[in-house]
Structure 1
Amino acid sequence: MAEEDIDERAYRVVLDDEEQYSVWRADRELPLGRHAEGPAGTRAECPAHIGTVWTDLRPLGLRRQMERAARG
């Protein structure tokens, strides 16, 4: 691995209002509608965490719409 490929910056797991996860650099201010969720860590650790907790990739709005449709 080349030295320039090593990323030692801190990252954090972020969740938006539609319950969609992403990874943001820890030194960046989060935009409205997003908040830190879960651990901070390396660029590799954050996606690993997301992989364990984000089991339903559908946005919250779609899940709610599908639940309403299922109830009839």
Structure 2
Amino acid sequence: MTNPFEDADREYFALVNDERQYSLWPADIDVPSGWSVVHGGAGRDACLAYIEEYWTDMRPAGLARAMGD
């Protein structure tokens, strides 16, 4: 059995949560509560590229707000 997060031939989503944290997610697995699809279904590399482009601040949104950003 292969890891579903590492299968280059699978379709994926890029997800985001309320804290503006991103995740790669296999498209054939239910999206967890609290997460929304922002990109895909697409290939793994396309979803990872999306996440890299848009997740520019690794801090959770609540921490960024608390720090005045």
Distance in 2 (CA, whole Å) between partners of 1:47 and 1:6 is 13
Greater percentage in helix: 1
Aligned residues: 64
Unaligned ranges ≥5, structure 2: 1-5
TM-score, normalising length from structure 2?
Answer: 0.80
CA RMSD of aligned residues (A): 1.9
% same residue: 39
Which structure has more strand as a fraction of its residues?
Answer: 2
User: What stretches of structure 1 move > 3 A for 4+ residues in a row?
Assistant: none
**TM-score, normalising length from structure 1?**
0.77
Alignment-derived partner of residue 34 in structure 1: 35
Letter in 2 for 1:22: S
Is it true that 1:53 corresponds to 2:58 in the alignment?
no
